[in-house]
Structure 1
Amino acid sequence: MTDLAIDVGGTKTLVAVFEDDSVKPSEVDRFPTDPYAGLENFITRLSKVCAKYVDPSNVRYWGLCTAGAVDVSTGRLIWSPNLGWKDVNLYERLSQLFGNQGIVENDCNAAAYGEWSARPGIDSLVYVTVSTGIGMGIVSSGRIIRGSHGAAGEIGHTTVLPDGPECTCGRRGCLQAIAGGRGLSSQVERLLGKRLSTEEIIDLAREGEPEYVEIVVKGAMFLGRFLANMIDALDPAVLVIGGSLGKNPHYRKLVVDFFAKFYYILPDKTVVIEPPSAEPDPGIIGVLQLSRSMGVRKNEKSDKIFSS
């Protein structure tokens, strides 16, 4: 039998196919998410990509994780500012393609679970993705912490600079509008009149171009300080920083250096900061493991689904 795992990001979507009970994919593919082309367009393209590797009738379990607040009991995407999708029952749409043995989960929650499952013996872990946007997933004693409305960990939309840059959620001064990939690009376009990729911006900052250094260092400072405050509050054993921007060596070092500056040190209090280890993608491995553990538990409450 075949299991299918899908990670829908703001920029790209990753599809992985797993045979039997393996955690190593037999097939991996990526395609542009292009969310503003609309949900129907995305579902059509997703279906075509998956059809290259799996017979839909042969899918045992499937899992999809995506940016935004998700009601896991129904598979409904409540709101994703990064995608521009609101009140979409993704479980219903995917079950029409692959059957009803599936799950829809927030991408950072899935990634946190994937990273936690890859580290036997770790009690608590926080995963932060720094990519197009910024998000966080929390696992404690094997349980995902979702909050009352499925929105725990939405740190990208936490206001850190009142009257700061406009965010995709419509507010100003959100963390990801200052420190995320789309936020950095938007600031460069607004302040310097140039349209550059995040990678190009980081490279120019690394080379010492003053205007880019200012924007990048400011973003890293806000993110490092915010993460130090969050880790002080949650006190996990491990902090994993992932995402395309979070794995960029220059930006990552800046963030970690600022984290160390603001982290509250007590005797015997430490947190291990690590890069992602779950391959090919933490969200993929997490949603794969969650879908396998849940089977067909549609419409059960999340606190029952994930009881240990």
Structure 2
Amino acid sequence: MKTLWGIDLGGTKIEGVVMNAETNEILVRKRIPTEADKGYEHIISQIAKLIDLLKEETQLKPVAVGFSTPGALDPSTQTMKNCNTTCMNGQYMKKDIENAIGVPIEIANDANCFALAEATMGIVKDVVPDAKVVFGIIMGTGVGGGVVINGQVLNGRHGIGGEWGHNVLEEDGYDCYCGKKGCNETVFSGPSLQRYYAKISGKSLTMKEIYQLYKEGNDPYSKDTMQYLIKSFGKALSYIVNVIDPDAIVIGGGVGNIDLLYTEGPEELKNYIFNSRVVETPFLKPKLGDSAGVFGAAELVRAY
């Protein structure tokens, strides 16, 4: 039996899955803590530990393992970059993991793995089965994006394909940790929308609370915040649609639970798209939830 092995490497947990490559049946899933505070070498040892646990439970061995990571592998230097688990940055993680577990690995960032999973195993496969180009969005604590073309992740020359979260939307906006100002992430991530609401209302609420107030219809500040989200989202997304014109867009993350994105989002996109105000692209809610990262990681090694 051919199997697919995937690892979703997060800041607090490492999740692994072994799947039947023919049926996508899950043979085993396990999670262990990342314990990133103990340093880079400890993270590598935790990965090796999880692989050993998966081997023990399945009595199988991987041919290769796919990894979803909180950053990107730089194709030129073969080191990690843009990781919010900062001890990984500058490290030869691909080589170090391969040395630790003894098989080849493939790495893509979490947004790419989300997009890949939903394109090949999730909602896109169900709704738009002939889709060739898929743009996957994660809108939560941060903002990320991933591009999948014909079932393959578009990593790009610099390993930053799909990095939509760090396109500049507001040139005079807030500072972003990446060094620029007004990136998409500083405009319509969950924390950024909470900051916007607090600025206009004087009250600090969670995004869930703000959205609930909007649905109740009695809070003008929540309405303003939702309008700000939709206007910013539509404009930012138009740059993607004008360049790659995807067959489907999937929106994940906590902010992705806001229904307006799927109704008002396409309407706002009409104001910017170079297509005579016609938007036919389906905006889809993800099917796989927090499993998308680990399933996408497994899909990275299907060709092995």
TM bin, normalised by shorter chain, reads 0.7 to 0.9
Which secondary structure state, in structure 2, belongs to the residue aligned with residue 151 of structure 1? coil
The question of whether the paired residues in 2 share the 8 Å contact of 1:130 and 1:181 is answered with: yes
**2:85 aligns to what?**
83
Alignment of 1:54-133 (within 5 A): 54-55=55-56, 58-71=61-74, 76-80=79-83, 82-84=84-86, 85-118=88-121, 119=125, 120-133=129-142
Runs of 5+ unmatched residues, structure 1 = 296-308
Select the residue among 208, 214, 229 that pairs with 1:199: 208
**Closer, same or farther: CA 255–269 of 1 in aligned 2, 3 Å:** closer
Query: Does residue 138 of structure 2 align to residue 137 of structure 1?
Result: no
Same amino acid, percent of matched pairs: 26
**1:28 aligns to what?**
29
**Closer, same or farther: CA 12–125 of 1 in aligned 2, 3 Å:** same
| Cα distance in 1 for residues equivalent to 2:234 and 2:189 | 12
Give the drift of 1:127.
1.7
Give the drift of 1:267.
9.4
The question of whether the paired residues in 1 share the 8 Å contact of 2:146 and 2:153 is answered with: yes
Which secondary structure state, in structure 2, belongs to the residue aligned with residue 284 of structure 1? helix
**Closer, same or farther: CA 136–75 of 1 in aligned 2, 3 Å:** same
**What root-mean-square deviation, in Å, do the aligned CA atoms of Structure 1 and Structure 2 show?**
3.7
Give the drift of 1:218.
1.6
Which secondary structure state, in structure 1, belongs to the residue aligned with residue 130 of structure 2? coil
CA offsets 1:209-235 (integer angstroms, 9 cap, x no match): 344443343233212221123212222
**2:297 aligns to what?**
287
| Cα distance in 1 for residues equivalent to 2:33 and 2:233 | 27
The question of whether the paired residues in 2 share the 8 Å contact of 1:165 and 1:187 is answered with: no
Give the drift of 1:174.
0.8
**Closer, same or farther: CA 69–220 of 1 in aligned 2, 3 Å:** farther
**Closer, same or farther: CA 14–215 of 1 in aligned 2, 3 Å:** farther
| Cα distance in 1 for residues equivalent to 2:44 and 2:52 | 12
| Cα distance in 2 for residues equivalent to 1:265 and 1:217 | 23
| Cα distance in 1 for residues equivalent to 2:189 and 2:282 | 22
| Cα distance in 1 for residues equivalent to 2:278 and 2:138 | 27
Give the drift of 1:285.
2.8
CA offsets 1:28-71 (integer angstroms, 9 cap, x no match): 35567676664345445555555554439833321111233323
Give the drift of 1:179.
0.7
Taking structure 2 as the reference length, what is the TM-score of the superposition? 0.76
Select the residue among 175, 178, 181 that pairs with 1:166: 175
| Cα distance in 1 for residues equivalent to 2:101 and 2:115 | 25
Select the residue among 241, 255, 258 that pairs with 1:245: 255
Which secondary structure state, in structure 2, belongs to the residue aligned with residue 146 of structure 1? coil
Q: State the one-letter code of the partner of 1:153.
A: G
| Cα distance in 2 for residues equivalent to 1:110 and 1:162 | 30
The question of whether the paired residues in 2 share the 8 Å contact of 1:128 and 1:240 is answered with: yes
Give the drift of 1:238.
1.7
**Closer, same or farther: CA 94–60 of 1 in aligned 2, 3 Å:** same
| Cα distance in 2 for residues equivalent to 1:217 and 1:38 | 42
The question of whether the paired residues in 2 share the 8 Å contact of 1:90 and 1:104 is answered with: no
**Closer, same or farther: CA 282–13 of 1 in aligned 2, 3 Å:** same
The question of whether the paired residues in 2 share the 8 Å contact of 1:2 and 1:54 is answered with: no
**Closer, same or farther: CA 98–260 of 1 in aligned 2, 3 Å:** farther
The question of whether the paired residues in 1 share the 8 Å contact of 2:200 and 2:221 is answered with: no
The question of whether the paired residues in 2 share the 8 Å contact of 1:2 and 1:59 is answered with: yes
Taking structure 1 as the reference length, what is the TM-score of the superposition? 0.76
Number of aligned residue pairs: give it: 293
| Cα distance in 2 for residues equivalent to 1:198 and 1:34 | 28
Which secondary structure state, in structure 2, belongs to the residue aligned with residue 236 of structure 1? coil
Give the drift of 1:196.
5.2
